[in-house]
Amino acid sequence: MAKKIHILNGPNLGLLGVREPHLYGSATLADVERECREIAKPAGFEVICRQTDAEHEMIHFIHEARIGAAGIVINPAAFCYAGYPVLDALKMCDCPIIEVHITNIHRREAEWRAKSILTQGVTGMISGLGIDVYGLGVRHIIRVRSGQ
């Protein structure tokens, strides 16, 4: 059985901790990655973390995880509004995919931010719980893949 969980982050998440801390908090992407590894390691899972501001790179990351990964936790950021190629790539995956958003996208200031086109290609979505969304996604994949 695959033991790799891919944590994929989209545009501007490389600036987590600096970008709009009143919305996204002060934790950095390195903090998120460390927490995910701490959750996964005792269960025997490896975490592979990637971040990109480029849609074509995100598609390559998804293709890499497409077959054989235990699961994907993806924060697509702005790709969730118009990233149809990202959606198509996610639909080709044979593993659980958890879409996460640090903020509650349904309570954001602009109506267009409340709709993710990617929900059609993911197993589930976790939104609005700060960086805890990542750990919850990792825990879900571990539980599903461990048969619990």
112-128 pLDDT tens trace: 767 899 999 999 999 99
- Write the DSSP symbol of residue 78: T
- For residue 23, what pLDDT is reported? 86
Catalytic residue among 84, 101, 134, 140: 101
Q: What is the distance between the alpha carbons of residues 20 and 146, in angstroms, rounded to a whole number?
A: 37
pLDDT bracket for residue 106 (50, 70, 90): confident
Asked if 98 and 65 touch (Cβ cutoff 8 Å), the reply is no
123: domain CATH number? Answer: 3.40.50.9100
pLDDT bracket for residue 105 (50, 70, 90): confident
67-88 pLDDT tens trace: 899 999 999 999 999 999 999 9
Report the DSSP beta bridge partners of residue 73: 7, 98
Which parts of 10-107 fold into alpha helices (H)?
21-24, 29-40, 55-65, 79-82, 84-91
Domain with 20, as residue range(s), is: 4-145
The answer to whether 134 is a known catalytic residue is no
The answer to whether 24 is a known catalytic residue is yes
pLDDT above 70 (res 63): yes
10-28 pLDDT tens trace: 999 999 999 989 888 999 9
- For residue 2, what pLDDT is reported? 57
Catalytic residue among 6, 22, 24, 140: 24
- For residue 100, what pLDDT is reported? 98
Average of per-residue pLDDT values in the chain: 94
Overall average pLDDT of the 21-43 stretch: 95
Measured CA to CA in angstroms, residue 42 lies from 15, 36, 122, 139 at distances of 29, 11, 26, 11
**Residues sharing a CB contact under 8 Å with residue 26, sequence separation 6 or more, in sequence order:** 17
% of the chain surpassing 70 pLDDT: 97
- For residue 109, what pLDDT is reported? 73
The number of folded domains in the chain is 1
